[in-house]
Amino acid sequence: MSGRVAPAPGRAVMPGLELARYLPYRLSVASNKASGLIARAYQARFGLTIWEWRVVAVLGSGHAMTAQAICEATAMDKVTVSRALRALNERSLVRRRTSPQDKRASLVSLTPDGQAVYEEIAPLALEWERSLLEGFSDEEKAVLGELLERLSVRADILAQGEDELP
């Protein structure tokens, strides 16, 4: 058996709303599966949450950054970044120096330990990505990336206008 489920007898057919075909739902399912997979791996092998990992990933470039810059680079909330930095700092994976230009802000960078963690995880992260995309052609990967990007842009645009509605 396969295909669409028939509507209950005597009930009007509602055109087209079937959860399994609803894009925001499918996107959420795919994202949760992919993230969950990788998050479990970070957690099990390195004791890092997905947010801590994201912070490490952007600091892996070697540039010191403010928490604010990290927020932008990781699409994380400032509270989430603050908590991730506290945890990373307690484990001595990052260090924070008060910015000389702005004494409210700190410049955060990886410690040697943090850099070592980054260098150990980064190749694994790429390997997980590769496994996830096994069977995708280069073109398919590019198209997927592009479509996700356009979707994000659309969502941003719609979010702009949403509180102006009736």
Q: Which of residues 66-105 bind a copy of itself (CB under 8 A)?
A: 73-75
Q: What is the Cα–Cα distance from 59 to 56, expressed in whole angstroms?
A: 5
Interface map 118-157 toward a copy of itself (x if CB under 8 A): xx--xx-xx-xx-xxxxxx---xx-xxx-xxxxxx-xxx-
Q: What is the Cα–Cα distance from 25 to 98, expressed in whole angstroms?
A: 43
Q: What is the Cα–Cα distance from 3 to 16, expressed in whole angstroms?
A: 14
- CB 100, min distance to DNA, A: 8
Nearest to 85 by CA among 96, 101, 72: 96
- Binding-site member from 85, 88, 110, 121 for DNA (CB under 7 A): 85
Residue 30 interacts with, from a copy of itself, DNA, none (CB under 5-8 Å by kind): a copy of itself
**Interaction between residue 83 and DNA (CB under 7 A):** yes
Q: Which of residues 34-53 bind DNA (CB under 7 A)?
A: 49, 51
Q: What is the dihedral of CA 110, 111, 116, 119, to 10 degrees?
A: 20
CB 84 within 8 A of CB 76: yes
Interface map 15-44 toward a copy of itself (x if CB under 8 A): -xxxxxxxxxxxxxxxxxxxxxxx-xx---
